[in-house]
Amino acid sequence: MSIKIIHAISGPRNISTALMYSFSQRENCAVFDEPFYGKYLFDNPAIDHPGAEETLEGWPTSTEAVLARIKTLTDTSGELYLKNMAHHMVNEDWKWAANAAHVFWIRHPRKVIASFSKVIPNLKVTDIGLTQELEQWSIVEKFNRPSIIVDTDEMLKDPKRTMPLICAALGISWQECMLKWPSGEKDFDGPWWPHWYTNAHNSTCFGPSKDMPGRLDLKYEKIVEDCLPAYRSLFKNRLKLE
């Protein structure tokens, strides 16, 4: 069975937007930016994220509506790349994705938290996505389809070498056009883009990985410590790119 859907799962601030832009360059590949974000906000009205109002107005707010849009996109394209967030998928039924290829993007929680806390200062462990990714990996492993875990910092060391390895592991062709994309806003960006995508819009290719930040404020270091077991478990099972 050929791969039709490439289902990417990550946490926030994990190079996920640049990766979406990369996959969007593939021939006849549609993308869907954080398909379950509207439903996540609808189901959790106490969450006050930048761009929440625009997202609730412009994005699907039910599972049925998300899956209907996925079907439309798969019916009209050769491939579909779903840029999904693990914390949006808690308690969702994954049967619809049983025939997809899955890639779990991970990043050291200290790097994630150092970046994410600048926008969402009152962070919790569940906002980072790593604990949910670990739980969801156990679901995906049972699908008997290509499924991989990739540490984005390892990918960024040499994208020209590592991205072909990732594509091969997913069972899709490598296309060198994935290494570059146009700068600026994309018509498939989610409606929250003005609050989150400045750096991504300034980019035209993968940049270097950032250095590990020093110790964060105590409240954030506690979250780092709580996320590390999940990160280490996922990292142990990652696709080796060295």
* 223 within some domain: yes
* 188 within some domain: yes
Amino acid at 58: G
Output 12 or 2, whichever has higher pLDDT: 12
Contact 110, 33 (CB under 8 A): no
Q: How far apart are CA 19 and CA 122, in angstroms?
A: 27
* 144 within some domain: yes
* 184 within some domain: yes
Per-residue pLDDT at 164: 98
Query: Count of domains in the chain?
Result: 1
- Residues 6+ positions from 241 with CB-CB distance below 8 Å: 150, 151, 154, 155, 157, 161, 162, 165, 166
Give pLDDT tens digits for 104-163. Answer: 999 999 999 999 888 888 889 999 999 999 999 999 999 989 999 999 999 999 999 999
CATH value at residue 91: 3.40.50
pTM: 0.95
Residue 1 confidence (pLDDT) above 70: no
Tokens of 68: 């209907």
* 225 within some domain: yes
* 241 within some domain: no
Range of 127's domain?
5-236
* 191 within some domain: yes
Residue identified by tokens 């974000």 is 37
221 alpha-carbon distance from chain centroid: 23
DSSP annotation string for 88-105: G-TT---GGGTTSEEEEE
* 242 within some domain: no
Give pLDDT tens digits for 171-206. Answer: 999 999 999 999 999 999 999 999 989 999 999 999
Per-residue pLDDT at 189: 97
CA-nearest of 144, 147, 167, 146 to 155 is 167
